[in-house]
Structures are given as C-alpha cells and as structure tokens.
C-alpha cells in the first residue's frame, strides 16, 4: 500500500567551510534517524560565503543533500552559474530574477514515487537586487507553469531579509491548496515560530544557518567588531573554527498537507 506520509529535511544557509563540515557531521545521523524522502539545502554561501563550486557541491551531496536552493549570492561563483545552467539541474535560484538570469527558479523533484515542486523566491525589503514581485511571480508559477502538473506537494524557500515579508508570503500561500511548506532563509538566525497553518502549510520564518558556532552569522567575530568600532571596511572572513552549528527544519507531510514542523538546532564544540 502506498504510504501517504513523507518527510522533508530543509537545511538553512550553508556558510563556508564550517557550514559544509556541519552538514557532513550532523546530516548522516539525521537521515538515519528520520528517514527523509527529500533533503534540501540553501547552498548560496557554501563556498567562502558567495555561491558554491562543484567540489563543495559534491561534499554536500555525498553527505546526503538531494537538492539546492539559492538567493542573492547565487551568481557570484562561475561554477555555481554553470550548475544552474545544466540540462537537469539539482540547483535552482530565485524565480523572480529578471528574464535572462542563468538557471531557473523552480523544479519538480522526483524522489521514489513522490513529485515535489521546489520553488525559490527572493524578497525585496532591504535587498539591493531589483527583483520582480515575489508574490506575483509565485502566482504566475502556480496558475500557469504548475497548473497542470500532478504533484504531491509544493515546497517554497523564500530568501528574504525581513520577518514580516516572510510572514506575508506564508499567508499569501494559503490560497494555493498544494503548497505544503514555506521556509525563510537569508538572515542566518533561526526563528522560534514553527507552525502549521489552517490550510496545512508548514512554516518557519527562518531556518537559520550551518556554520561556525562562534561567529556572527558565519563570519569571524573580530573583523565585524572592528568595523563597528572604526566604521572602516573589513573583509568578511568566514570562520572555520569555533565549533559547528547545524540549523534546519523537519517537515512531516500527509498528502498535500504538513502535519508537523520541527526546527533542528545542533551544535558541536571542538
């Protein structure tokens, strides 16, 4: 008999080498424990904080990641761009970038007997990129591009700065009955508002990050403090020491609906 229940693990922004190490350290055990049908990670910061290359892509897939979303750093690394342009990519970028941007903003991922559409969108508040309206872009995808697709669920990574814009996306999605989960990324700080809405959408404002535990959103502490004290520009150095932090979310699904959202927050001090 076909099992109507399934699970998705989403991993917050993988930040630099420490982020990759955190995924390698924690993800295999999480997979063994929860047996997810799909593992998605936001990989836009995996290579020194700006995009990711093929070597680091392989490190993460070898650890158990099936699929990658992105954000405003998706176009910084030339190998990241080439992966976006592959014929059958396992990497997407926000769908609301203007026409002509490399890659695509959504993909149907087939895992076992499941067909799950993963959509990536980017917010506009306090973001320097002039992207199209994420709400209107989502409506176009739902009403035109995915309208006739048979899907088990639709999963959305909304890469945005403000909590209010991400919460607005959650409520906007209530009109689309096949949307099962909306998760925010970008701030690198996990929020404490996991919930399942009345229409069966699982939501967390921000999944957090995988990176160095002793850091400022993945970046070494000292340059950030120096910039604050002197107002002089400092190079962002992604901390490779100071322990590991793994942030993610476990979504439990039943047909099109999410039934449970469990944030994951693990640390390892070396």
Q: Which residues are catalytic?
A: 73
* Residue reference for tokens 């906007």: 172
CB distance 125 to 162 below 8 Å: yes
The count of other CB atoms within 10 Å of the CB of residue 147 is: 8
The partner residues of 252 in beta bridges, in order of sequence, read 7, 260
Rg (CA), the chain: 18
Torsion on CA atoms 245, 153, 205, 56, rounded to nearest 10? 30
* Residue reference for tokens 């990241």: 80
Quote the tokens at residue 240: 């490779």
> Sign of torsion, CA 212 216 217 220?
negative
Distance CA 210, CA 189 (A): 10
Phi-psi region of 97 (alpha: psi -120 to 50; beta: other; left: phi over 0): beta
CA distances, 94 to each of 11, 61, 156, 173 (Å): 17, 21, 10, 17
CA distances, 118 to each of 66, 110, 127, 146, 218 (Å): 12, 11, 22, 11, 26
* Residue reference for tokens 């420490």: 18
Q: Coil, strand or helix: which one is 94?
A: coil
């Amino acid at each position: 008999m076909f099992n109507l229940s399934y699970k998705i693990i989403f991993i917050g922004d993988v930040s630099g080498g420490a982020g990759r190490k955190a995924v390698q350290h924690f993800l295999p055990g999480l997979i063994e424990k929860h047996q997810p049908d799909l593992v998605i990670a936001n990989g836009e910061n995996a290579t020194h904080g700006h995009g990711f290359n093929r070597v680091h892509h392989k490190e993460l897939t070898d650890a158990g990641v099936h699929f990658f979303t992105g954000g405003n750093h998706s176009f910084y690394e030339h190998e990241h761009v080439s992966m976006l342009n592959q014929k059958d990519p396992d990497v997407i970028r926000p769908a609301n970038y203007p026409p002509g941007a490399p890659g695509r903003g959504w993909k149907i991922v087939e895992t076992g007997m499941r067909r799950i559409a993963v959509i990536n969108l980017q917010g506009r508040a306090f973001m320097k990129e002039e992207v199209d309206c994420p709400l209107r872009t989502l409506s176009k995808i739902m009403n035109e591009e995915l309208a006739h697709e048979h899907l088990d669920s639709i999963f959305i990574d909304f890469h945005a700065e403000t909590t209010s814009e991400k919460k607005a996306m959650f409520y906007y999605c209530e009109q689309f009955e096949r949307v099962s989960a909306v998760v925010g990324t970008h701030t690198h700080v996990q929020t404490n508002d996991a919930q399942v809405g009345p229409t069966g959408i699982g939501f967390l404002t921000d999944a957090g990050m995988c990176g160095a535990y002793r850091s400022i959103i993945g970046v070494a502490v000292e340059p950030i403090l120096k910039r604050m004290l002197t107002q002089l520009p400092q190079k962002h150095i992604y901390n490779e020491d100071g322990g590991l932090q793994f942030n993610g979310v476990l979504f439990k699904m039943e047909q099109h609906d999410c039934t449970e959202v469990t944030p994951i927050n693990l640390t390892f001090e070396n």
